[in-house]
């Protein structure tokens, strides 16, 4: 008798809910943030019926309240290799390579996420996963000490590893196994209030970089934030202080626009938490800053051409105005950001016509009706103009390295923006991962091309050579 396996999408949804419940219990302020985001989202939907309709058509309404991503930081190649296998059980694959050394953070990262449209529609949860780059620790002695500390720890339970192996061998997990897997996997992401190092060692790691201390000093890589989706990030940012929540000084990413692009993120300041350091004479009390709450607002995915323009505009702003320690010049930065980004079109049709963004195409009821017994125009613009071919933005499902680094910096103690030379090492990252990371732009291009093929087939125009964006 064949065993009935649970779908990876179902396992991912179970894991997302379990992670959310755990984090709300561990970080009560995060629960307050969730409530604020829900209030803002409800107001947006009530005041903007067009937005509600668009989200309903896209199947997004049911998933508004589902956390969109979390983040962890790993210390060794072995930890990264195993996390890839763990996330594979949940239907999540590594997409994109992010070099955060460009902003002075000694990690490089990928995003584990579902990649096909159906899986994203069920549950879009992803985990931004960073690997500490020990080679960027300048002090050779400290680097060796950090390596030795990390080599001793085991961040996965034996049962979690056994269930990963069972999934790989059998091709899936049963309902009972899936439930057990979620509970065991959750242990990797749980907070531990006891450090595995002495207070003196922690200080030396901390002085090298706060993030190094966070990665090296604990039993596991505790989830450092979860992120709900908001429909109006500016409103959430403005209302956080009403709930006793201190936001970071600036929203990372592009400015507020009519047509949202890529990803905007903000967060509340990381908590200063009491921890116990190991010592010969018993535990010594101290504090550590690591965990926070984040909010995201997602827009359309940009093409290579669109990303190049975005990166140029952002770099020009940061070259002109940088936010200082404590949020100095935050207002000037926001003003300059808004001014510079006027160079990027702010209408869906202009973005599409200029090959700056990805869109999902669909045949309209009017187009399907018109196709019966008549020849439709072979020009895509004519099809769109007559209302036979519709387009909707493809949501950006990935991350922005400068924005991620900005969130890291803010929650490691400062809102100060810094620019550094890149020290990318994708080959080393993929060697540790045991896989090649997928190209996010290629995934969006495939989704766009597939939607166009389906739309043309529905209009009786299959095989029509239409120009599509790169």
| CATH number, domain containing residue 17 | 3.10.180.80
Q: Are residue 313 and residue 323 in the same domain, yes or no?
A: yes
Q: Are residue 208 and residue 107 in the same domain, yes or no?
A: yes
322/7 Cα distance (integer angstroms): 46
Q: How many domains does the chain have?
A: 2
Q: Are residue 300 and residue 449 in the same domain, yes or no?
A: no
Q: Is residue 240 part of a domain?
A: yes
450/381 Cα distance (integer angstroms): 18
Per-residue confidence in pLDDT tens, the chain, 470 aa: 456 899 999 999 999 999 988 888 888 888 888 889 999 999 999 998 888 887 787 777 777 777 778 889 999 999 999 999 999 999 999 999 998 877 678 889 999 999 988 898 888 889 999 999 988 888 889 999 999 999 999 999 999 999 999 999 999 999 999 999 999 999 999 988 888 888 888 899 988 888 898 899 998 888 888 888 899 999 998 998 888 888 888 888 899 999 999 999 888 777 778 888 876 566 678 888 777 778 889 899 999 999 999 989 988 887 776 665 565 676 788 888 889 899 999 999 999 999 999 999 999 999 999 888 778 887 788 899 999 999 999 989 998 877 655 555 554 544 444 444 456 689 999 999 999 999 999 999 999 999 999 999 898 887 665 554 43
Q: Are residue 273 and residue 382 in the same domain, yes or no?
A: no
| Residue 163: CB atoms within 10 Å | 21
Q: Are residue 363 and residue 415 in the same domain, yes or no?
A: no
- Closest by alpha carbon to 69, among 228, 234, 190? 228
Q: Is residue 3 part of a domain?
A: no
Angle at 159 between CA 157 and CA 162, to 5 degrees: 115
Q: What are the φ/ψ torsions at residue 330 (nearest 5 degrees)? A: -60, -40
| Token digits of residue 192 | 């531990």
Q: Is residue 54 part of a domain?
A: yes
Q: Are residue 263 and residue 244 in the same domain, yes or no?
A: yes
Q: Are residue 378 and residue 433 in the same domain, yes or no?
A: no
Q: Are residue 270 and residue 349 in the same domain, yes or no?
A: yes
**pLDDT tens-digit series, residues 81-100:** 999 999 999 999 999 999 88
Q: Is 240 exposed, middle or buried (0-12, 13-18, 19+ CB in 10 A)?
A: buried
97/451 Cα distance (integer angstroms): 26
Q: Is residue 2 part of a domain?
A: no
Q: Are residue 427 and residue 460 in the same domain, yes or no?
A: no
| Token digits of residue 255 | 């400015």
- Domain span holding position 379: 359-393+440-470
Q: Is residue 171 part of a domain?
A: yes
- The answer to whether the CB of 308 falls within 8 A of the CB of 273 is no
β-partners of residue 273 are: 288
Q: Are residue 90 and residue 237 in the same domain, yes or no?
A: yes
Q: Are residue 322 and residue 376 in the same domain, yes or no?
A: no
Q: Is residue 1 part of a domain?
A: no
């Amino acid at each position: 008798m064949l065993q009935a396996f649970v779908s990876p999408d179902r396992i991912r949804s179970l894991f997302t809910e379990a992670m959310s419940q755990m984090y709300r219990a561990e970080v009560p302020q995060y629960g307050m943030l969730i409530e604020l985001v829900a209030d803002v989202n409800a107001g947006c939907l009530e005041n903007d019926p067009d937005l509600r309709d668009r989200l309903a058509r896209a199947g997004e309404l049911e998933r508004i309240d589902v956390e969109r991503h979390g983040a962890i930081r790993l210390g060794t190649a072995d930890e990264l290799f195993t996390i890839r296998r763990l996330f594979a059980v949940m239907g999540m694959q590594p997409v994109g390579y992010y070099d955060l050394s460009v902003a002075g953070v000694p990690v490089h990262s990928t995003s584990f996420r579902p990649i096909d449209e159906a899986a994203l529609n069920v549950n879009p949860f992803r985990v931004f996963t960073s690997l500490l780059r020990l080679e960027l620790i300048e002090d050779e002695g400290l680097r060796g000490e950090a390596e030795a500390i990390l080599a001793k720890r085991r961040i996965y339970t034996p049962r979690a590893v056994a269930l990963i192996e069972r999934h790989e061998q059998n091709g899936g997990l049963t309902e009972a196994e899936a439930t057990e897997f979620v509970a065991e996997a959750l242990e990797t992401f749980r907070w531990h209030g006891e450090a595995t190092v002495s207070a003196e060692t922690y200080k030396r790691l901390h002085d090298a970089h706060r993030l190094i201390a966070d990665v090296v000093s604990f039993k596991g890589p505790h989830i450092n934030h979860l992120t709900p989706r908001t429909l109006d990030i500016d409103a959430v940012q403005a209302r956080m202080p009403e709930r006793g929540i201190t936001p970071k000084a600036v929203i990372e990413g592009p400015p507020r626009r009519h047509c949202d692009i890529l990803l905007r993120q903000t967060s509340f300041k990381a908590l200063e938490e009491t921890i116990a350091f190991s010592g010969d004479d018993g535990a010594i009390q101290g504090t550590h800053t690591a965990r926070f709450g984040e909010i995201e607002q997602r827009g359309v995915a940009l093409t290579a051409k669109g990303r190049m323009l975005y990166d140029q505009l952002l770099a020009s702003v940061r070259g002109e105005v940088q936010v200082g320690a404590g949020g100095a010049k935050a207002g000037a930065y926001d003003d300059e950001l808004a001014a510079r980004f006027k160079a990027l079109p702010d209408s869906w049709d202009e973005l599409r016509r200029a090959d700056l963004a990805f869109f999902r195409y669909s045949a309209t009821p009017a187009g399907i009706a018109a196709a019966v017994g008549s020849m439709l125009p072979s020009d895509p613009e004519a099809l769109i103009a007559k209302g036979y071919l519709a387009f909707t933005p493809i949501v950006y499902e990935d991350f922005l390295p400068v924005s991620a680094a900005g969130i890291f910096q803010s929650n490691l103690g400062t809102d100060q923006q810094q620019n550094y030379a890149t020290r990318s090492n994708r080959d080393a990252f993929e060697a540790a991962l045991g896989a090649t990371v997928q190209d996010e732009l290629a995934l969006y291009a495939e989704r766009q091309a597939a939607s166009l093929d389906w739309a043309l087939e529905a209009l009786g125009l299959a095989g029509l050579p239409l120009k599509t964006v790169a």
